[in-house]
Amino acid sequence: MDDVTVHVETEVNPTEAEEKVKAALANVFGTLPIVTKPSNIGSLLVAEAKGREALENFRNLLRRDRIRNAARKVFFAGLRGETISFFLNKQVAFVGHVSFSQETGESPLGPIKVIIESENPRELIDWLTQRAP
């Protein structure tokens, strides 16, 4: 199941500090290589990593915040073929927690978009939402 690619991106609005948005990503996903790209409203932070290790921190947050069942529903709702797509609230991520959101409307500063590709996404969802032994 190490055939996993994690793609994360979020806008940095002119009213936001780029370092704080990077910290939000790091709080949820650990150390991902982040690239800053220009966008229409400010800049776009893009990170991509391979391997299930890139999701370890995220998995631990789901367990710690006790939202595995909710996460499972969100993951299956965003499952299309070998891709799982979902959005996270950027402000909640900054304080080290996970809160799922919609693409627009719920997160005033815009969400964090997450796309996970896996040859076996159902097995990956089971691993992400697995109960602690």
4-128: what CATH class? alpha beta
CA 89, CA 130: separation in Å to the nearest integer? 22
**Residue predicted with more confidence, 98 or 105:** 98
Q: Identify the bridge partners of residue 43 per DSSP, sorted by sequence position.
A: 12, 38
Q: What is the pLDDT of residue 107?
A: 67
User: Tens of pLDDT along 74-97?
Assistant: 999 999 999 999 999 999 999 999
Q: State percent of the chain over pLDDT 90.
A: 82
CB 35 within 8 A of CB 63: no
Residue 58 CB coordination number (10 Å): 20
pTM of the shown model: 0.92
CA 18, CA 23: separation in Å to the nearest integer? 9
CA 53, CA 57: separation in Å to the nearest integer? 8
Phi then psi dihedrals of residue 11, to 5 deg:
-75, 145
Sequence spans of domains, the chain = 4-128
